[in-house]
């Protein structure tokens, strides 16, 4: 766990970094809130999987990377490129299928990619990007750069074949990958305890003789520290790490509109995790240790609201792609 110090001269991150962490977490939260509203109002087509509640593990991990490091993700995809520093407007436009979307309207919610910030893509097929992340790390090794690849996947993906193949490959070749399991406890409606032969996903690291770490996914600084260690290891050529962030999604697996959600978790459980809201906890910590003032907090929140509102306005006003683009970008 991160050692938090209220000694301003001591360890810990500079204030600007801490504010940026908070800012990115808020960006994800507000962006996702808007996405929910748009989807409920039938102004956003397709499937949408919301990451509210998981902001800390996303941002803590992403901010341990450089811009030129790589990242892959999964269907719960909006938070990852935001955490990596992608601009909001093209992401929101993509969710609405607009020409100005980051994927020119061709990908949508589950297939966001922002190559300019190293986001190599999100995938609608569980586990599908894990081998791809391994390949990005291999590429960095072959090119002799110090880049690493962060691979987000869920507890559900930890039981797929590609999980095993990717970790094994990364381990034998000592590739600079950080495999980060966003364990929110459920693969859609099925609890991890029913699907997984081990108690913790991180226990599987032993099968590949790589380090495994369990971290509180609601504590952004804890995640930052653990992933930073894994990144240092990777850059030094010591190979991959498996990090398991224990987290929770407050909303359903996917936005179901007016449909009653299936019964698989109790209101008490959801309420209990609500007391561990990552943004609540982090902002309170920063305020209590005087790394953030109320005024600064309000300013950050307001700026994020304005930024997201602008992204939504941009997206809604943007045109759809011309029909002629249907056949573009099949091949180079």
Please work out the total of residues on this chain that contact other proteins, with binding judged by CB under 8 A: 46
User: In the numeric block, which tokens belong to residue 152?
Assistant: 């987000």
131 binds other proteins (CB under 8 A): yes
CB of 88 to other proteins, least distance (A): 17
Task: Please tell me what DSSP assigns to residue 203.
Answer: G
User: In the numeric block, which tokens belong to residue 242?
Assistant: 């498996």
Q: How far apart are CA 17 and CA 187, in angstroms?
A: 33
Q: How far apart are CA 41 and CA 136, in angstroms?
A: 38
In whole angstroms, what separates CA 151 from the centre of its chain? Answer: 9
135 binds other proteins (CB under 8 A): yes
Give the sign of the dihedral formed by CA 228, CA 74, CA 108, CA 44. Answer: negative
Binding mask 71-100 for other proteins (x = CB under 8 A): -x----------------------------
User: CB-based burial of residue 104 (10 Å sphere; 0-12 exposed, 13-18 middle, 19+ buried)?
Assistant: middle
Residues listed for the chain: 332
Between 159 and 285, CB nearer to other proteins:
159
User: In the numeric block, which tokens belong to residue 114?
Assistant: 């922002």
Cβ atoms 312, 34 nearer than 8 A:
yes
- State which of residues 104, 174, 235, 265 lies at the interface with other proteins (CB under 8 A): 104
CB of 77 to other proteins, least distance (A): 12
Q: Between residue 157 and residue 176, which ones bind other proteins under the rule CB under 8 A?
A: 161-162, 165-166, 168-169, 172
Between 88 and 103, CB nearer to other proteins:
103
Q: Between residue 242 and residue 301, which ones bind other proteins under the rule CB under 8 A?
A: none
130 binds other proteins (CB under 8 A): yes
Between 18 and 86, CB nearer to other proteins:
86
Task: Please tell me what DSSP assigns to residue 71.
Answer: E
Contact residues toward other proteins (CB under 8 A) are: 70, 72, 101-107, 111, 113-115, 120-121, 123-125, 128-140, 142-143, 149, 161-162, 165-166, 168-169, 172, 328-332
């Amino acid at each position: 766990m991160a050692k938090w110090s209220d000694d301003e001269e001591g360890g810990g991150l500079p204030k600007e970094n801490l504010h940026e962490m908070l800012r990115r977490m808020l960006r994800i939260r507000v962006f996702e809130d808007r996405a929910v509203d748009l989807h409920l109002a039938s102004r956003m087509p397709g499937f949408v999987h919301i990451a509210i509640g998981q902001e800390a593990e996303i941002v803590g991990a992403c901010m341990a990377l450089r811009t030129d490091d790589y990242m892959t993700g999964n269907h719960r995809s909006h938070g990852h490129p935001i955490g990596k520093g992608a601009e909001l407007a093209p992401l929101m436009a993509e969710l609405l299928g607009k020409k100005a979307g980051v994927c020119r309207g061709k990908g949508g919610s589950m297939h966001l990619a922002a190559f300019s910030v190293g986001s190599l893509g999100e995938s609608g097929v569980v586990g599908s990007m894990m081998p791809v992340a391994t390949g990005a790390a291999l590429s960095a090794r072959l090119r002799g750069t110090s880049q690493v690849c962060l691979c987000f996947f869920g507890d559900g993906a930890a039981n797929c074949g590609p999980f095993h193949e990717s970790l094994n490959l990364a381990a034998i070749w000592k590739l600079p990958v950080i495999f980060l399991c966003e364990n929110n406890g459920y693969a859609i409606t099925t609890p991890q305890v029913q699907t997984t032969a081990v108690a913790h996903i991180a226990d599987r690291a032993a099968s590949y003789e790589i380090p495994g770490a369990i971290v509180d996914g609601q504590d952004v600084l804890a995640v930052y520290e653990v992933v930073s260690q894994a990144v240092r290891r990777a850059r030094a050529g010591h190979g991959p790490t498996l990090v398991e962030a224990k987290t929770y999604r407050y909303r359903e697996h996917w936005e179901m509109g007016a449909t009653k959600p299936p019964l698989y978790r109790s209101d008490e459980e959801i309420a209990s995790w609500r007391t561990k809201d990552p943004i609540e906890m982090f902002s309170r910590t920063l305020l209590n240790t005087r790394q953030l003032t109320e005024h600064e907090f309000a300013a950050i929140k307001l700026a994020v609201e304005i930024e997201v509102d602008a992204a939504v306005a941009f997206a809604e006003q943007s045109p759809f792609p011309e029909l002629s683009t249907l056949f573009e970008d099949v091949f180079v």
